[in-house]
Amino acid sequence: MKAETSPPPTGANNPKSPPQPHGKRADEPMARSWGRWRVAGIIVVVLGLAILGYVGMTQYRTARLAARVRTLFAERRYDEARQPLEQWLRDSQGESQSADEPQLQHRPRSRLAIAMWLFSLWERNLQRAGEAQYYRAWLALVDQDPRQTVESIEQAKRLGFDRSALEVLVGIHQARLRRLDVAEPILRAAFARNSEPRDLVARELASIYLATYRFPYAAPAIERYRELAPNDPRPYLWNNEINSRSGASPAILIRNYRAALERDPNLDKARLGLAEQLSKDQRFDEAEQEYRTYLKRNPRDVSALVGLGRNAFQNGDIAGATHEFEAALAIDPDRRDALKELAQLDLRFGRFDQARRRLERLSRLDPYDHEVSYTYAQALRLSGHLDQARIESERAARLRKEHEQIVQLRFSIVKDPNDVKARYQVARWMFEHGHADEGLKWAREILRADPHHSGIHQMLASYYAAHGDPGLANYHRTMATSSQEAR
């Protein structure tokens, strides 16, 4: 049998073994310490991976939302863009709240690589938050919401978004506030660069050119807007505004009005314009149908009643024409064109005294209309008031000459929109002939081109003094004096 072996003695009986304290092994505390560090390390790694996964998913979702919004805005699908944009804005709120300070000082300084990565991540999130505010401002312009427009532009600036892109939005906003001297240079440059939002840039620039009679410049802007917003009827109305001033045939105007109505059947301006042009083209039955369609929506529109009456007269329906003219006067007893048409009918059927009375009243309402003055002279002569007829005939000849002058001035402005001298003469004519509202519009346009035009300031000083506004009168009087001294 083999002898049983026993473990080697420890302690004093084994000189090779170190002495051990009674009760515990010496390496047990170190083992437990390393165990705790390993558990803590595993927890940190798991938490880090979880955080990185969450951040990665958030970044992925935000990137997808941003890409979706960019695509929808580029395609002008604004209604579809609302929901993803709102989600992007919600996601970016937390990212942008720390815009003033990255909050990296709380991270261990020994983790420099992590800190740099987190800073780049924060910076990228900040840029995306600014971009989201940019698109929100763009959408606010589409929605005609000036308060939200300004608020989002300021937010995007604070978040460091591209200032040149934001300047375009500012230009559109300024154009809508009629601050054309600020807006026009921005929009012209944006139009030339094809900067977004291209549709809104083209629309506002076209409006500026139309308002200032620069029709050759307006045409390219209108065409770009029509291409970018194919469902908007306004480009067709704008084209007709140009065409009607250049003597285009009714057929061209009719085509544009029908195109506008295809896009918006309830567009009253297009419906009324179509009816008028159909009547001019002697398509009387079609014109009557359009007038009646319009009047169903606007039964008290006296201009449509007068147009329907004229259409009936040209179609040989005298009774129908008289009925429509009288219906217009029942709504507005001072309606000038209705009075004029009824006076013409009175003259046609030998009711000279009645025609004279209508025209006498009409000449008081519109003392600068050369056609009214000429017809009044006829009625005076036919009713036996020969001396008055002679005086009125002379007056009609003078008014006709002045009218021809203003037509020539308008024509010269169409040819040269920057002709300030012609614009000034038109403005003066408007003020002198009882068209103060039109005169004010022309005066503002002149001052936009030449803020120190002394003649316009003198004219406005007289106008505001006569209309009980001493503050504005004094301002324009001072400007007129200083402008003369400067020159």
Query: Half-sphere exposure of residue 33, counting CA atoms within 13 Å on the CB side?
Result: 5
Q: How many angstroms separate the Cα of 401 from the Cα of each of 229, 408, 435?
A: 44, 11, 18
CATH architecture of 334-410: Alpha Horseshoe (1.25)
CB 409 within 8 A of CB 429: yes
Tell me what the mean pLDDT of segment 447-472 comes to. 86
Q: Each residue of 384-441: pLDDT tens digit? A: 999 999 999 999 999 898 888 888 887 777 777 778 888 888 888 888 887 888 888 8
pLDDT reported for residue 29: 62
Q: Each residue of 116-141: pLDDT tens digit? A: 444 444 444 445 688 999 999 999 99
Task: Give the Cα-Cα-Cα angle 251, 254, 258 (nearest 5 degrees).
Answer: 140
pLDDT reported for residue 437: 85
Q: Each residue of 287-302: pLDDT tens digit? A: 999 999 999 999 999 9
Q: How high does pLDDT run on average in the chain?
A: 83
- Is 220 exposed, middle or buried (CB count within 10 Å of its CB: 0-12, 13-18, 19+)? middle
Beta-strand runs (E) in 299-398: none
Residue 149 corresponds to which amino acid?
A: T
SS3 15: coil
Give the pTM. 0.71
CB-CB neighbours of 425 under 10 Å: 19
pLDDT reported for residue 19: 53
DSSP 8-state class, residue 351: -
In the predicted model, is pLDDT for residue 280 greater than 80?
yes
- 104 pLDDT tier (thresholds 50, 70, 90): very low
Q: Each residue of 218-263: pLDDT tens digit? A: 999 999 999 999 999 999 999 999 999 888 899 999 999 999 999 9
Domain 416-487 fold is 1.25.40
Tell me what the mean pLDDT of segment 306-334 comes to. 96
CATH 1.25.40.10 location in the chain: 265-332, 334-410, 416-487
Range scoring the smallest mean pLDDT among 14-18, 278-282, 344-348? 14-18
In the predicted model, is pLDDT for residue 284 greater than 90?
yes
What H or E segment, with its residue span, contains residue 33?
helix 28-74
- 9 pLDDT tier (thresholds 50, 70, 90): low
Q: Which CATH number does 265-332 carry?
A: 1.25.40.10
